[in-house]
Structure 1
Amino acid sequence: MKNIINNIKYWSQVFLLPIYGLSFLIPRKKDIWLLGSTFGRRFADNPRYFYLYLNQFQNENVKAIWISKNKKVINFLNENGYEAYYARNIKGIWYCLRAKVYLYDNYSKDISFWLSGGAIKINMWHGIPLKKIQMDNVHDKVRHPDNVWNKFKYRLRRLSDEKPSDYVLTTSEELRNIFASAFRTNHVLPIGYPRNDIINSNQIENILDFDEKKYLNTIESRSFSKTLLYMPTFRDSEIKFFDKMDMIDLKEYLKLENVLLLIKLHPKSKLEKEFINLECKNICVIESSLDPYVFLPYADVLITDYSSIYFDYLLLNRPLIFFNYDMKEYLSNSREMYFNYNEVTPGKKVSNWLELKQALENIKNESECNKEQGERNLLKKKMFIEEDGLWSEKLYGEICKIIRI
């Protein structure tokens, strides 16, 4: 029954095609900028921090409005004095038709694809790609359908996914060609990500919702010698984690060393309940839908696998450990990579708990840490343009040039 309902919703979008065409006829105002994230569900990532920047630094020049399909997000922003509207109410629809600039981190349907005709659309994306993305990902059946039915079936989705982005944001010249290939565009902006302003600078004032405050209070109220953050990416073989770990020994290690382990899974992970069952004084599982950039600065060590979060973590210049226990399966069944994995992962690679524990012990070795610090700095220079001011400010200036205000 659920599949039937989803199919009806999907194919009913055909009737919105005339609305999309008509949306090109509505005059748009250059000083109205809309932002949204994750298909309209979250207040997170690059749109979140650019929205805060615009409202805190450019509110006399542009009207920055958050559009969401999540009323909880709308209420949270309104309660904090920010302008935000539900995507399907009159004001939300009106601003979707009138705004000249759309900014999002997936696709323009984070705001509203069907009302976006004539707007300048800037895809801020949600990561620095280690893994191949979009058109470069041969495992993506939407963009590379393997039969006639899938080619027909995904036609509507390809329209709303691929057509809207006039510009794509990235973090360095090194990545320009990758984004140009993945998004099939020459309009790549190697400016830097607004979400990293919250790591590099205290100029932008973040606002935290109830759940974010709850987890931060938990972290800050406990007295630990060190905080580890485990942030894996999503894939089918993630279930193998439990085969590679000795959970009893892990808990004993954390208790003995007085260490807090934070676990923040990918929003698509199917293992959140299993990880929540591990919670104890030394293990805290952060709700997967929350914005990771709220918690990233609290980690003394980041443990990941193939998640691009580690590129952002380079800006903190702290140790990295890569727990790549299923690398063979991942490369075969999930994603190919743009880079040689071993050349762009400045940290120990481990595949089981004993190796992970040893890597944690090695962090205490000063000479080993100095070597990895040098590797991290080299990679940071490759992946990020110079840190001379807010990246949000540079993006704002570039958009003003594009729309000529």
Structure 2
Amino acid sequence: MPGFNFANGNAKKLLSLPLYALGALASLVVPRTDRQWVFGCGSGVGEGSLELFRFARAANPLLGLTWLALDTEELADAAALGIPAVLKSSRRGLWLTLRARVIVVTHGFGDANRYGTRGAFVVQLWHGIPLKLIQLDSPVTTSSGIFSRISRLRGILRRAYQRGYRGISLMPAASELVASRLQTAFGLESGRIAVTGDPRDDVLSRGTADDRSAIARAQLFAGLGLDRDSRARTLLYSPTWRDGAADPGAPTAEEWTRIGEYLEASGSLLVVRPHPHGVGDYAAGFGVSDRIVLLSSSAQPDVTPILPAVDLLITDYSSIAFDFSLTGGPILFLAPDEDSYTASRGLYEPYREFSGGTEVRSWTAILAQLARYDSDQQWAAQLEAHSRLVSERHFAYRDGRNTERVYGEILDRLKAQE
């Protein structure tokens, strides 16, 4: 079933304008307290919000920290981690959002109770380095679905987004290059962006490579519910979100058969991890071979911690390529809709630069690249070198201390406001 798309989301925002106004009035009379922080994440209990929650709790036990959950399932996930949580849509969720001095989100204001954020110190961690144009840089952001025939609404929506983004107090960035993209995407003054590194990526830098791999493999295979040997070579296919459109990279029946044959011959496992809001039919593959498995977003809401378990990534325009580059592993780029996608959505850099000129348009070509990777050491080394180049270009820090820097930046800026 289709997931979230901007058209439907914007239509709901337009219909909710009176609630935004009431929330703004409430924020004028409900005082905020320095001791209360709230956290949310659009993909569940995880990503940078979880990293920052844990760091803040250890750094200052006197802080009142609360997770704002979407539903009862997320409440249960938080409880399992020993994290106090309430439903963000509840009265308690609204009250805590109105009272919080600091609000931490990864996707948008809706990660918290969106009607109670005005006047807070909002930390927008975002959820990955953008390759495709996002927010104000992308025309998709102001699509309005059923209202799209009303020409003025696009301008109204754009101004609404601009006003909303002015509520962001701090936006951490992985590097100066990434900061430049976030600045135009959110229309922020440069002073609101800090190159601290992304907390969600600390898990890819802490400890030794062997330790990271062992922990990630245990988590991955537990999430898959498999008893198979966790030492098997693991390939991950993770396509991007296409605003409600289906994944054109989903293999055909013939391709699934050939994929199964390759996996069997090479002793590999292919993990298919669709985007949480993605659309694609991969069921045929699971019937071809038990070496083709699904890792759903419900089983693994935050994919970053399991990346050290992956030996090779297959993706398209997804920001997962940036995160995975921190592992040093090779990346294959499958982009069957490159021309139409780049024309309609737009990218922050030429796709051939991003891919190192190795992008292909079919699984037949991907299988050929896999065979070449297995047999041609020089080409394998070139793929790994490109992965390192991606990491060096986009990450200023690889020391596992991004969360610490973000926390320090928050305290410094709060103190400056006194």
Normalising by the smaller structure, the TM-score range is 0.7 to 0.9
Per-residue Cα deviation, 1:63-102 (whole angstroms, up to 9, x for no partner): 3321112122112222432221222444433321211111
1:342 Cα shift?
1.3
Amino acid at match of 1:302: L
Question: Secondary structure of the equivalent of 2:168?
Answer: coil
- Of the three residues 326, 330, 333, the one matched with 2:341 is 330
Q: Which moved more, 1:246-255 or 1:26-35?
A: 26-35
Question: Secondary structure of the equivalent of 1:388?
Answer: coil
- Corresponding residue of 1:358: 368
After superposition, the Cα gap between the structure-2 partners of 1:347 and 1:303, relative to the gap in structure 1 and judged at 3 Å, is farther
Taking the TM superposition and a 5 Å limit, the aligned residue runs for 1:1-400 are 11-38=15-42, 42-55=44-57, 57-60=58-61, 62-142=63-143, 147-148=150-151, 150-151=153-154, 154=157, 158=161, 162-186=165-189, 187-202=192-207, 214-218=222-226, 221-222=228-229, 225-235=232-242, 236=245, 238-239=247-248, 241-243=250-252, 246-272=255-281, 274=283, 277-278=286-287, 280-289=289-298, 290-333=301-344, 335-346=345-356, 348-364=358-374, 365-400=376-411
CA distance in 1: counterparts of 2:404 and 2:332, whole angstroms = 32
1:225 Cα shift?
3.5
Contact 1:237 1:326 in 2 (8 A): no
After superposition, the Cα gap between the structure-2 partners of 1:80 and 1:377, relative to the gap in structure 1 and judged at 3 Å, is closer
Contact 2:197 2:402 in 1 (8 A): yes
- Corresponding residue of 2:4: none
After superposition, the Cα gap between the structure-2 partners of 1:387 and 1:294, relative to the gap in structure 1 and judged at 3 Å, is closer
Contact 1:348 1:359 in 2 (8 A): no
TM norm structure 1: 0.86
Amino acid at match of 2:44: R
1:191 Cα shift?
1.1
CA distance in 2: counterparts of 1:355 and 1:299, whole angstroms = 21
Per-residue Cα deviation, 1:132-181 (whole angstroms, up to 9, x for no partner): 11111134334997843533884797378535322222100122221111
CA distance in 2: counterparts of 1:128 and 1:148, whole angstroms = 31
Question: Secondary structure of the equivalent of 2:95?
Answer: helix
Question: Secondary structure of the equivalent of 1:75?
Answer: helix
Aligned residues: 394
- The structure with higher relative contact order (CA 8 Å, sep 6+) is 2
Per-residue Cα deviation, 1:168-224 (whole angstroms, up to 9, x for no partner): 221001222211111101111221111111111159x9x99xx97742542x63356
CA distance in 2: counterparts of 1:59 and 1:244, whole angstroms = 55
After superposition, the Cα gap between the structure-2 partners of 1:17 and 1:72, relative to the gap in structure 1 and judged at 3 Å, is same
Contact 2:248 2:336 in 1 (8 A): no
Question: Secondary structure of the equivalent of 2:49?
Answer: helix
1:234 Cα shift?
2.2
Contact 2:48 2:198 in 1 (8 A): yes
Contact 1:263 1:285 in 2 (8 A): yes
Per-residue Cα deviation, 1:93-146 (whole angstroms, up to 9, x for no partner): 332121111110111121012111220111111111111111111343349978
Identity among equivalent positions (%) equals 24
Per-residue Cα deviation, 1:28-49 (whole angstroms, up to 9, x for no partner): 22232211011xx621322122
Unaligned stretches of 5+ residues in structure 2? 1-6
Contact 2:94 2:115 in 1 (8 A): no
After superposition, the Cα gap between the structure-2 partners of 1:322 and 1:152, relative to the gap in structure 1 and judged at 3 Å, is closer
Amino acid at match of 1:185: L
Question: Secondary structure of the equivalent of 1:349?
Answer: coil
After superposition, the Cα gap between the structure-2 partners of 1:194 and 1:117, relative to the gap in structure 1 and judged at 3 Å, is same
RMSD between superposed Cα atoms in Å: 3.3
CA distance in 2: counterparts of 1:9 and 1:179, whole angstroms = 22
TM norm structure 2: 0.84
Contact 1:171 1:383 in 2 (8 A): yes
CA distance in 2: counterparts of 1:23 and 1:44, whole angstroms = 28
